[in-house]
Structure 1
Amino acid sequence: MLAINPYLNFNGNTEEAFNHYKSVFGGEFAMVMRFKDSPAAANTPEKHQDKLMHIALPLANGSMLMGTDAIGEGGMPFVTMGNNFSLTISAESREEADKLYSGLAEGGNAVSPMHDEFWGDYFGWLTDRFGINWMITHNPNATK
Structure 2
Amino acid sequence: MSKATPFLMFQGNAEEAINFYISIFEDSEITSLNRGGPEGSIMQATFSIKGQEFKCNDSSIKHNFTFTPSFSIFITCDSENELDELYEKLSEGGAVLMTLGEYGFSKKFGWINDKFGVSWQLNLPF
Question: TM range, normalised to the smaller chain?
Answer: 0.3 to 0.5
Q: Which has the higher helix share?
A: 1
**Which structure dedicates a bigger proportion of its chain to strand?**
2
Structure 1 length-normalised TM: 0.39
Q: Which has the higher contact order (CA 8 A, sep 6+)?
A: 1
Q: TM-score, normalised by structure 2?
A: 0.44
